[in-house]
Chains A and B, each alone.
Chain A
């Protein structure tokens, strides 16, 4: 396979890896756990150097992708892998906001992220750029679907070999959306937590770059761009409240880190942003711990249609709990039926077809509003992280059917009359 040669840029802004517990320093290699405490490793930066390199103007003049924030990301290539990832729309919601009784609601729409229609393209663009710098020629991942799509697609673009591991029972769209890029796909007979465990064992012995295992410190930094973009798109200002889905808890903690870094280098004013998280009831270990006031997360066995967020043993659950509590946010869970309603609600009011994870987030947003836990005036951003076309099975049987007609005017008119009658009946039913 041919790969693009790497050009190293000067003025590297990241300095080392550091363990989240104990603060032990590690070199910038493919490492993901602290040897002493087993806690995750984080990338550490030289913020003075970042402050010297960036301003609102330099960012705004950068590429229309996550790489406009390159100084905040752990890569040193001058030519990172840029497939147009990021800078997805931040939509001011009118109809959904009105339906929920909110005055200041925004939707960050990563259902249209490039190239594979989920936020995972952000983390994978960073991970594969770093993998290339560290000399890996084969990349891999343990995935609930979206990550496999993204790793396979971006590896194809970058000319890297790819082997992905997924649970065997994934939605057909997610499997096909990986196979088309022609990686090796291992469909493991087990749930995501079992896939993950297998990969930890494989990762130790094959010398591959596993984006969410040995490359995890670099990979997870890509999610910070969901924080940066929202701040920039709001006119260099932080929101008051964010609502995001929780699977491993990584995305949530990285949006938080992203906001804090923008404050630290003086790009935005400091402000407390409330962080609220969404889980599916069939896999809600973090929401349960939140409700019970625990600071440890007891693993569960997932049983929900929201497969992309069905992680029973969330690695960053502890940190997600901490952030929700210290920012006066909430963590809620919703049933599968509410998730489907959430998907329909977002589609019908905003024209955005999200996957089950997005349905979960919208349903939790609704639940929090109804419980008085979101002030109608708060500038609230809800993160939609994946696309509904990938999980069509979830809504099959819950949405309307096409009206099949003859190619004749009277057939059309009869069908139209019938559909209007049905709509009227539905409306009458709803108002009782």
Chain B
């Protein structure tokens, strides 16, 4: 499954300063592993020691927070858009 990943500024040093990259993965877990293969070092930034996305990072699949879907098991289809967005204060 090829999906489009929107990368926040602090992670763009791993993606040659690209704000969007294409990557493969059947679900979020696999996508993060595939990102690591293409952009070494990025996984340790996205995930904490337990391998889960960091508390202050939000991941969305087509605008839906993965915590409203199936977390890192959320399945991906061709053409999906995954965004990685740091949490922001309100309001």
B58 interface residue (CB < 8 Å to A):
yes
Which 7 residue pairs are nearest across A and B when measured between Cβ atoms?
Answer: A248-B90, A315-B87, A38-B56, A35-B10, A144-B91, A33-B86, A311-B90
Contacts of A201 in B (CB 8 A): 6, 83, 85
- A36-82 interface (Cβ within 8 A of B): 36-40
| Neighbour of A248 across the interface among B9, B85, B89, CB < 8 A | B89
Q: Are B58 and A313 in contact, CB atoms less than 8 angstroms apart?
A: yes
Q: How far is the CB of B21 from chain A (nearest CB, A)?
A: 15
Q: Are B56 and A315 in contact, CB atoms less than 8 angstroms apart?
A: yes
Tell which of B24-32, B59-67, B72-80 binds the partner: B59-67
Q: A217: nearest residue on chain B (CB-CB)?
A: B89
In the bound complex, how far is the Cα of B59 from the Cα of A313, in angstroms? 12
In the bound complex, how far is the Cα of B45 from the Cα of A36, in angstroms? 6
Q: Are B85 and A200 in contact, CB atoms less than 8 angstroms apart?
A: yes
Q: Are B67 and A247 in contact, CB atoms less than 8 angstroms apart?
A: no
A212 interface residue (CB < 8 Å to B):
yes
Q: Are A296 and B90 in contact, CB atoms less than 8 angstroms apart?
A: no
Given A142-B88, A200-B8, A200-B88, list of 20 further CB < 8 A pairs?
A: A21-B56, A32-B86, A33-B86, A34-B10, A35-B45, A37-B56, A39-B56, A40-B87, A147-B91, A192-B91, A200-B86, A201-B83, A204-B9, A204-B19, A212-B89, A212-B91, A248-B90, A299-B65, A299-B67, A315-B89
Q: A193: nearest residue on chain B (CB-CB)?
A: B65
When each residue 1-29 of chain B gets 1 if its CB lies under 8 Å from chain A and 0 otherwise, what string results? 00000101110000000010000000000
Q: How far is the CB of B19 from chain A (nearest CB, A)?
A: 7
In the bound complex, how far is the Cα of B71 from the Cα of A149, in angstroms? 36
Contacts of A220 in B (CB 8 A): 89
Contacts of B63 in A (CB 8 A): 194, 197
In the bound complex, how far is the Cα of B87 from the Cα of A196, in angstroms? 9
| Neighbour of A296 across the interface among B55, B60, B89, CB < 8 A | B55
Chain A contacts to B: CB under 8 angstroms: 21, 32-40, 142-144, 146-147, 192-194, 196-197, 199-201, 204-205, 212-213, 216, 219-220, 247-248, 250, 296, 298-299, 301, 308-309, 311, 313-316, 318
Q: How many interface contacts (CB-CB < 8 Å) are there between A and B? A: 95
In the bound complex, how far is the Cα of B26 from the Cα of A228, in angstroms? 52
Q: How far is the CB of B58 from chain A (nearest CB, A)?
A: 7
Chain B contacts to A: CB under 8 angstroms: 6, 8-10, 19, 45, 54-58, 60, 63, 65, 67-68, 83, 85-91
Q: Are A197 and B83 in contact, CB atoms less than 8 angstroms apart?
A: yes
Q: How far is the CB of A413 from chain B (nearest CB, A)?
A: 50
Q: Are B90 and A212 in contact, CB atoms less than 8 angstroms apart?
A: yes
Q: How far is the CB of A315 from chain B (nearest CB, A)?
A: 4
Q: Can you list 16 residue pairs at the A/B interface with Cβ under 8 Å?
A: A35-B45, A37-B56, A144-B90, A147-B90, A192-B90, A194-B63, A200-B85, A200-B88, A212-B89, A213-B88, A216-B89, A248-B90, A250-B90, A298-B67, A299-B65, A299-B68
Q: Are A247 and B56 in contact, CB atoms less than 8 angstroms apart?
A: no
Q: How far is the CB of A165 from chain B (nearest CB, A)?
A: 11
Most buried by A among B60, B68, B83, B91: B91
With A201-B6, A299-B65, A313-B65: A38-B89 Cβ-Cβ less than 8 Å: no
Contacts of B57 in A (CB 8 A): 38
Q: How far is the CB of B61 from chain A (nearest CB, A)?
A: 13
In the bound complex, how far is the Cα of B85 from the Cα of A193, in angstroms? 11
In the bound complex, how far is the Cα of B9 from the Cα of A73, in angstroms? 27
Q: How far is the CB of B57 from chain A (nearest CB, A)?
A: 5
Q: How far is the CB of A17 from chain B (nearest CB, A)?
A: 13
Contacts of B68 in A (CB 8 A): 299, 301
Q: How far is the CB of B4 from chain A (nearest CB, A)?
A: 13
Q: A317: nearest residue on chain B (CB-CB)?
A: B87
With A143-B91, A197-B60, A313-B65: A38-B86 Cβ-Cβ less than 8 Å: yes
In the bound complex, how far is the Cα of B55 from the Cα of A21, in angstroms? 11
Contacts of A35 in B (CB 8 A): 10, 45
Q: How far is the CB of A100 from chain B (nearest CB, A)?
A: 28
Contacts of B55 in A (CB 8 A): 39, 296, 318
Contacts of A296 in B (CB 8 A): 55
In the bound complex, how far is the Cα of B58 from the Cα of A144, in angstroms? 20
In the bound complex, how far is the Cα of B12 from the Cα of A205, in angstroms? 13
